[in-house]
Chains A and B, each alone.
Chain A
Amino acid sequence: MIRVLVADDSRVMRQIVVRTLRQAGYDWQVREAANGAEALEAVREDEPDVVLSDWNMPEMTGIELLRRLRAEGFETPFGFVTSEGSAEMRETADEAGALFLIAKPFTAESFREVIEPVLA
Protein backbone atom coordinates (compact mmCIF):
# COMPACT_ATOMS: atom_id res chain seq x y z
CA MET A 1 0.00 0.00 0.00
CA ILE A 2 1.26 3.48 -0.91
CA ARG A 3 2.15 5.60 2.10
CA VAL A 4 1.41 9.32 1.75
CA LEU A 5 2.34 12.23 4.00
CA VAL A 6 -0.18 15.09 3.82
CA ALA A 7 1.20 18.44 5.03
CA ASP A 8 -1.15 21.38 5.54
CA ASP A 9 -1.55 23.82 8.44
CA SER A 10 -5.33 23.53 8.11
CA ARG A 11 -6.67 20.38 9.79
CA VAL A 12 -9.87 20.83 7.81
CA MET A 13 -7.94 20.95 4.54
CA ARG A 14 -5.91 17.85 5.46
CA GLN A 15 -9.22 16.10 6.07
CA ILE A 16 -10.51 17.24 2.69
CA VAL A 17 -7.31 16.13 0.92
CA VAL A 18 -7.53 12.69 2.53
CA ARG A 19 -11.24 12.45 1.68
CA THR A 20 -10.53 13.43 -1.93
CA LEU A 21 -7.77 10.82 -2.21
CA ARG A 22 -10.30 8.18 -1.12
CA GLN A 23 -12.93 9.55 -3.55
CA ALA A 24 -10.32 9.37 -6.31
CA GLY A 25 -9.85 5.69 -5.52
CA TYR A 26 -6.52 5.92 -3.70
CA ASP A 27 -6.85 3.88 -0.54
CA TRP A 28 -3.45 4.98 0.69
CA GLN A 29 -1.99 4.85 4.17
CA VAL A 30 -2.02 8.44 5.41
CA ARG A 31 0.13 10.37 7.86
CA GLU A 32 -0.39 14.06 8.51
CA ALA A 33 1.84 17.04 9.32
CA ALA A 34 0.68 20.53 10.35
CA ASN A 35 3.52 22.46 8.69
CA GLY A 36 6.71 22.02 6.68
CA ALA A 37 8.93 21.53 9.73
CA GLU A 38 6.71 18.70 11.02
CA ALA A 39 6.68 17.16 7.56
CA LEU A 40 10.49 17.31 7.34
CA GLU A 41 10.78 15.48 10.67
CA ALA A 42 8.20 12.90 9.53
CA VAL A 43 10.17 12.19 6.33
CA ARG A 44 13.45 11.92 8.24
CA GLU A 45 11.88 9.45 10.66
CA ASP A 46 10.15 7.29 8.09
CA GLU A 47 10.24 8.29 4.42
CA PRO A 48 6.80 7.98 2.79
CA ASP A 49 6.19 6.99 -0.84
CA VAL A 50 4.79 10.42 -1.67
CA VAL A 51 4.38 13.83 -0.04
CA LEU A 52 1.33 16.03 -0.75
CA SER A 53 2.01 19.48 0.65
CA ASP A 54 0.38 22.86 0.95
CA TRP A 55 2.60 25.76 -0.13
CA ASN A 56 1.80 28.50 2.36
CA MET A 57 2.36 27.21 5.91
CA PRO A 58 3.82 28.62 9.14
CA GLU A 59 7.19 27.39 10.48
CA MET A 60 8.33 26.10 7.10
CA THR A 61 6.58 26.60 3.75
CA GLY A 62 5.99 23.80 1.29
CA ILE A 63 8.65 25.01 -1.14
CA GLU A 64 11.19 25.30 1.71
CA LEU A 65 10.28 21.76 2.72
CA LEU A 66 10.84 20.45 -0.80
CA ARG A 67 14.19 22.24 -1.17
CA ARG A 68 15.31 21.00 2.24
CA LEU A 69 14.34 17.41 1.40
CA ARG A 70 16.28 17.53 -1.86
CA ALA A 71 19.27 19.16 -0.11
CA GLU A 72 19.27 16.29 2.40
CA GLY A 73 19.20 13.73 -0.40
CA PHE A 74 15.55 12.66 -0.16
CA GLU A 75 14.10 11.99 -3.60
CA THR A 76 10.59 11.41 -2.23
CA PRO A 77 7.97 12.07 -4.94
CA PHE A 78 6.47 15.43 -4.03
CA GLY A 79 3.31 17.23 -5.13
CA PHE A 80 1.80 20.54 -4.05
CA VAL A 81 -1.86 21.01 -3.16
CA THR A 82 -2.21 24.76 -2.88
CA SER A 83 -4.64 27.64 -3.27
CA GLU A 84 -2.24 29.42 -5.62
CA GLY A 85 -1.74 27.90 -9.05
CA SER A 86 -0.08 30.72 -11.00
CA ALA A 87 2.32 29.91 -13.84
CA GLU A 88 5.14 31.43 -11.77
CA MET A 89 4.46 29.11 -8.83
CA ARG A 90 4.17 26.08 -11.09
CA GLU A 91 7.56 26.94 -12.57
CA THR A 92 9.10 27.41 -9.13
CA ALA A 93 7.63 24.08 -7.99
CA ASP A 94 8.89 22.33 -11.10
CA GLU A 95 12.40 23.76 -10.74
CA ALA A 96 12.55 22.60 -7.12
CA GLY A 97 11.65 19.07 -8.18
CA ALA A 98 7.89 18.81 -7.59
CA LEU A 99 6.06 16.31 -9.77
CA PHE A 100 2.81 18.26 -9.89
CA LEU A 101 0.81 21.12 -8.44
CA ILE A 102 -2.88 20.68 -7.72
CA ALA A 103 -4.64 24.02 -7.32
CA LYS A 104 -7.42 24.38 -4.76
CA PRO A 105 -10.31 24.07 -5.21
CA PHE A 106 -9.84 20.53 -6.46
CA THR A 107 -11.99 17.52 -7.23
CA ALA A 108 -11.36 13.78 -7.16
CA GLU A 109 -11.00 14.02 -10.91
CA SER A 110 -8.27 16.66 -10.73
CA PHE A 111 -6.42 14.43 -8.25
CA ARG A 112 -6.62 11.47 -10.65
CA GLU A 113 -5.49 13.61 -13.61
CA VAL A 114 -2.15 14.42 -12.00
CA ILE A 115 -1.59 11.32 -9.87
CA GLU A 116 -2.33 8.64 -12.48
CA PRO A 117 0.60 9.61 -14.77
CA VAL A 118 2.93 9.56 -11.75
CA LEU A 119 1.77 6.08 -10.70
CA ALA A 120 2.19 4.85 -14.27
Chain B
Amino acid sequence: MTVTTVDTDQVLAIAEAVFSAMVDGDAGLLLPWYGELPEAVEPLCAWVDLHGEVAGRAALVCELDTAHELARALLMMGPQEPIGESDLVDAFGEIANVVGGNIKSLLPVQGSLGLPQVALGTAPAVDAPVAEELRLSWRGQPIVISIWLVA
Protein backbone atom coordinates (compact mmCIF):
# COMPACT_ATOMS: atom_id res chain seq x y z
CA MET B 1 0.00 0.00 0.00
CA THR B 2 1.40 3.39 -0.97
CA VAL B 3 0.13 6.57 0.59
CA THR B 4 -0.61 9.17 -2.05
CA THR B 5 -0.74 12.84 -1.18
CA VAL B 6 -2.19 15.90 -2.81
CA ASP B 7 -0.88 19.41 -2.51
CA THR B 8 -2.78 21.61 -0.03
CA ASP B 9 -2.48 24.70 -2.21
CA GLN B 10 -3.89 22.85 -5.21
CA VAL B 11 -6.89 21.59 -3.20
CA LEU B 12 -7.47 25.11 -1.87
CA ALA B 13 -7.27 26.49 -5.43
CA ILE B 14 -9.84 23.90 -6.57
CA ALA B 15 -12.19 24.77 -3.70
CA GLU B 16 -11.84 28.50 -4.39
CA ALA B 17 -12.53 28.00 -8.10
CA VAL B 18 -15.59 25.84 -7.42
CA PHE B 19 -17.07 28.27 -4.92
CA SER B 20 -16.31 31.42 -6.90
CA ALA B 21 -17.69 30.03 -10.19
CA MET B 22 -20.59 27.89 -9.00
CA VAL B 23 -21.68 29.17 -5.61
CA ASP B 24 -20.77 32.81 -5.10
CA GLY B 25 -20.22 34.20 -8.59
CA ASP B 26 -17.26 36.03 -7.08
CA ALA B 27 -13.97 35.21 -5.37
CA GLY B 28 -13.06 35.91 -1.77
CA LEU B 29 -15.94 34.36 0.16
CA LEU B 30 -14.15 31.06 0.79
CA LEU B 31 -11.10 31.42 3.01
CA PRO B 32 -8.87 29.18 5.10
CA TRP B 33 -10.25 28.51 8.60
CA TYR B 34 -7.87 29.63 11.30
CA GLY B 35 -7.95 28.09 14.78
CA GLU B 36 -9.99 25.27 16.20
CA LEU B 37 -13.18 24.19 14.49
CA PRO B 38 -16.36 24.45 16.57
CA GLU B 39 -17.92 21.10 17.43
CA ALA B 40 -20.34 20.05 14.69
CA VAL B 41 -24.00 20.21 15.76
CA GLU B 42 -25.82 18.71 12.78
CA PRO B 43 -23.22 17.88 10.13
CA LEU B 44 -24.06 16.93 6.57
CA CYS B 45 -21.55 15.11 4.39
CA ALA B 46 -21.28 14.81 0.61
CA TRP B 47 -18.65 12.60 -0.98
CA VAL B 48 -17.48 10.92 -4.14
CA ASP B 49 -15.32 7.82 -4.32
CA LEU B 50 -12.29 7.45 -6.54
CA HIS B 51 -11.73 4.04 -8.08
CA GLY B 52 -8.69 2.63 -9.85
CA GLU B 53 -4.99 2.34 -9.26
CA VAL B 54 -5.21 5.34 -6.94
CA ALA B 55 -8.41 4.94 -4.92
CA GLY B 56 -10.02 6.90 -2.14
CA ARG B 57 -12.70 9.42 -1.31
CA ALA B 58 -13.20 13.17 -1.42
CA ALA B 59 -15.70 14.52 1.10
CA LEU B 60 -17.19 17.85 2.05
CA VAL B 61 -18.69 18.32 5.55
CA CYS B 62 -20.52 21.32 6.93
CA GLU B 63 -23.49 22.10 9.14
CA LEU B 64 -26.90 21.29 7.67
CA ASP B 65 -27.83 24.99 7.81
CA THR B 66 -24.68 25.85 5.84
CA ALA B 67 -25.56 23.21 3.25
CA HIS B 68 -28.98 24.85 2.85
CA GLU B 69 -27.27 28.20 2.29
CA LEU B 70 -24.87 26.64 -0.21
CA ALA B 71 -27.74 25.08 -2.15
CA ARG B 72 -29.66 28.38 -2.18
CA ALA B 73 -26.56 30.18 -3.45
CA LEU B 74 -26.00 27.55 -6.14
CA LEU B 75 -29.61 27.88 -7.27
CA MET B 76 -29.58 31.68 -6.95
CA MET B 77 -32.45 31.58 -4.47
CA GLY B 78 -33.25 34.23 -1.89
CA PRO B 79 -31.77 33.93 1.64
CA GLN B 80 -35.05 32.85 3.23
CA GLU B 81 -36.41 30.70 0.42
CA PRO B 82 -37.09 27.13 1.56
CA ILE B 83 -35.20 24.44 -0.26
CA GLY B 84 -36.53 20.91 -0.75
CA GLU B 85 -34.58 17.86 0.38
CA SER B 86 -33.98 16.58 -3.16
CA ASP B 87 -32.55 19.93 -4.27
CA LEU B 88 -30.41 20.11 -1.12
CA VAL B 89 -28.98 16.61 -1.73
CA ASP B 90 -28.53 17.29 -5.44
CA ALA B 91 -26.80 20.66 -4.96
CA PHE B 92 -24.56 19.66 -2.05
CA GLY B 93 -23.63 16.39 -3.77
CA GLU B 94 -22.78 18.25 -6.97
CA ILE B 95 -20.35 20.54 -5.13
CA ALA B 96 -18.57 17.43 -3.77
CA ASN B 97 -18.68 15.90 -7.25
CA VAL B 98 -16.97 18.89 -8.87
CA VAL B 99 -14.38 19.15 -6.09
CA GLY B 100 -13.73 15.38 -6.32
CA GLY B 101 -13.53 15.42 -10.11
CA ASN B 102 -10.96 18.19 -10.05
CA ILE B 103 -8.94 16.41 -7.35
CA LYS B 104 -9.00 13.25 -9.46
CA SER B 105 -7.47 15.28 -12.30
CA LEU B 106 -4.47 16.01 -10.03
CA LEU B 107 -3.66 12.34 -9.53
CA PRO B 108 -0.80 10.73 -11.43
CA VAL B 109 -2.98 7.83 -12.58
CA GLN B 110 -6.54 8.35 -13.76
CA GLY B 111 -9.24 5.95 -12.60
CA SER B 112 -12.96 6.53 -12.43
CA LEU B 113 -15.18 8.64 -10.21
CA GLY B 114 -18.26 7.34 -8.39
CA LEU B 115 -21.56 9.17 -8.22
CA PRO B 116 -21.98 11.71 -5.39
CA GLN B 117 -23.55 10.57 -2.13
CA VAL B 118 -24.98 12.66 0.68
CA ALA B 119 -25.75 11.67 4.28
CA LEU B 120 -26.23 13.25 7.68
CA GLY B 121 -23.15 12.99 9.85
CA THR B 122 -19.45 13.15 9.17
CA ALA B 123 -17.74 11.36 6.31
CA PRO B 124 -18.10 7.57 6.45
CA ALA B 125 -14.92 5.64 7.18
CA VAL B 126 -12.83 4.60 4.22
CA ASP B 127 -9.96 2.12 4.07
CA ALA B 128 -7.29 4.62 3.09
CA PRO B 129 -5.12 7.17 4.91
CA VAL B 130 -6.06 10.84 5.02
CA ALA B 131 -4.19 12.63 2.24
CA GLU B 132 -5.52 16.08 3.04
CA GLU B 133 -7.89 17.81 5.42
CA LEU B 134 -8.62 21.36 4.42
CA ARG B 135 -10.50 23.54 6.90
CA LEU B 136 -12.32 26.39 5.25
CA SER B 137 -14.53 29.29 6.16
CA TRP B 138 -17.39 30.08 3.80
CA ARG B 139 -19.08 33.33 4.78
CA GLY B 140 -17.78 32.65 8.30
CA GLN B 141 -19.12 29.11 8.53
CA PRO B 142 -16.84 26.06 8.70
CA ILE B 143 -16.55 23.64 5.79
CA VAL B 144 -14.06 20.77 5.81
CA ILE B 145 -12.79 19.05 2.69
CA SER B 146 -11.21 15.66 3.42
CA ILE B 147 -9.40 13.46 0.95
CA TRP B 148 -8.34 9.86 1.49
CA LEU B 149 -6.05 8.23 -1.05
CA VAL B 150 -4.27 4.92 -1.39
CA ALA B 151 -2.29 3.48 -4.30
Contacts and interface: CB of A to CB of B under 8 A. Distances in A.
B69 interface: no
Contacts of A56: 97, 101, 112-113, 115
Contacts of B110: 86, 88-89
Given A11-B90, A12-B91, A16-B74, A86 B105 contact: yes
A15 interface: yes
B115 A104 contact: no
Contacts of A105: 17-18, 20-22, 98
Interface residues of B, number: 26
Interface in A72-115: 82-86, 88-89, 103-107
A21 to B, nearest CB: 15
Given A10-B93, A12-B74, A19-B76, A85 B105 contact: yes
Interface in A46-94: 56, 58, 82-86, 88-89
Interface of B: 17-18, 20-22, 71, 74-76, 86-87, 90-91, 93-94, 97-98, 100-102, 104-105, 110, 112-113, 115
Interface of A: 9-13, 15-16, 19, 56, 58, 82-86, 88-89, 103-107
11 contacts: A10-B93, A10-B94, A13-B90, A16-B74, A84-B105, A84-B113, A85-B101, A86-B105, A104-B18, A105-B22, A106-B21
